[in-house]
Copies of this chain bind each other. A is one copy, B any other.
Amino acid sequence: MAVTIKDVARLAQVSVATVSRVLNASAPVRDDTRARVLAITRDLRFSPNGAARTLKRRQASALGVVLPDLYGEFFSELLRGIDLEAQNAGHALLVSSSHHDARGVSVAVRAMRGRVDGLLVMAPEVSAKSLAGALPDGLPTVTLNTAPTQGACASVTVDNVGGARAMTHHLASLGHRRIAFLCGPSRNADAAARLRGYRAAMRTAGLPVDDTLVLHGDFTEQGGWQAARLLPETSRRRPTALFAANDAMAVGALLALHEAGMNIPGDMSVVGFDDIPIARYVTPSLTTVRVAIDVLGARAAALLFRVLATPVRGGDAHREVVPAELVVRHSCGPPPSA
């Protein structure tokens, strides 16, 4: 029913081989023959069947992108960065989201076999071990922001530790001594890394890491609101600064503290992580850590292409880290006692 290379060949009175050669410029063809073939191709609006081409060439010109979710600006930016790089290389993107557990990732990945040349996998909530089990054997893969795999799998991560450390240091140097940290989901690798950075910086600054200073959150605005709501009622040992593990929670916290009649940053400093666009618009504007998410995506795609280009699948497990940079706005200041 659909027009195939055979139809073109028949009408142009050449063999299918010649048509293929014309379309791919893969071998010399006489000028008049080429012209005839191209004319028919245009007339029939022929375009080669991607599946057949992929099958024969053993290369799909597509990258698989497996994401835990598609909600919010983070993924939008990530995808944009990836797309930019993929488009440059003439590759399409086969995306699949809502895969939170290893099983989900596994089925998504299996469905992609034979239709993509490589995989970009982001699964911050899946342990390294089960992820390794879910990934296929033959397919080059780059993991994004995932707990480090022992397997020989390239990866790109954000410098969560460095960013969190820089932020904590900043707060400490403003004079804060009791700095609370609002965690993300417990199994999330990003969240864990940020907590580590906070802890390390607190130690370096000679500040105690009291367990009551570490609050539990879930990366949602709602969660941030709930966690912060209880804060004003804390006794005199109340923290003077709140470091939320992501901006969404920081925004929620801002809201809660505001509702409780607190002055930010006068009574308490509140800071976040990610620098989502909203961070600039809340009042007071949010001090945070900027992650160039599109760069993260682009770097991951670029790395994947490099892996694809190297003929030998070296087990060197290339690892890249994209920097995270402190952005100081108006939601933090010196502690009230100072």
Contacts and interface: CB of A to CB of B under 8 A. Distances in A.
Among A70, A94, A112, A251: residue with most chain B CB under 10 A? A70
Interface string A39-57: 0000001011111111100
Interface in A263-285: 277-278, 281-283
Contacts of A75: 76
Contacts of A112: 50, 92
Contact of A76 (B48, B73, B282): B73
Number of copies: 2
Given A51-B115, A80-B71, A92 B92 contact: no
A75 B79 CA distance: 10
Contact of A93 (B1, B94, B113): B94
Interface residues of A, number: 48
A220 interface: no
Interface string A296-312: 00000000000000000
A232 interface: no
B83 A98 contact: yes
A233 interface: no
A97 interface: yes
A180 interface: no
Given A47-B113, A55-B51, A70-B83, A93 B92 contact: no
Contact of A50 (B3, B80, B111): B111
A13 interface: no
A48 B137 contact: no
Contacts of A226: none
7 contacts: A2-B138, A48-B113, A50-B114, A50-B115, A51-B52, A53-B114, A70-B83
Closest 5 CB pairs of A and B: A76-B76, A49-B114, A50-B114, A50-B115, A51-B54
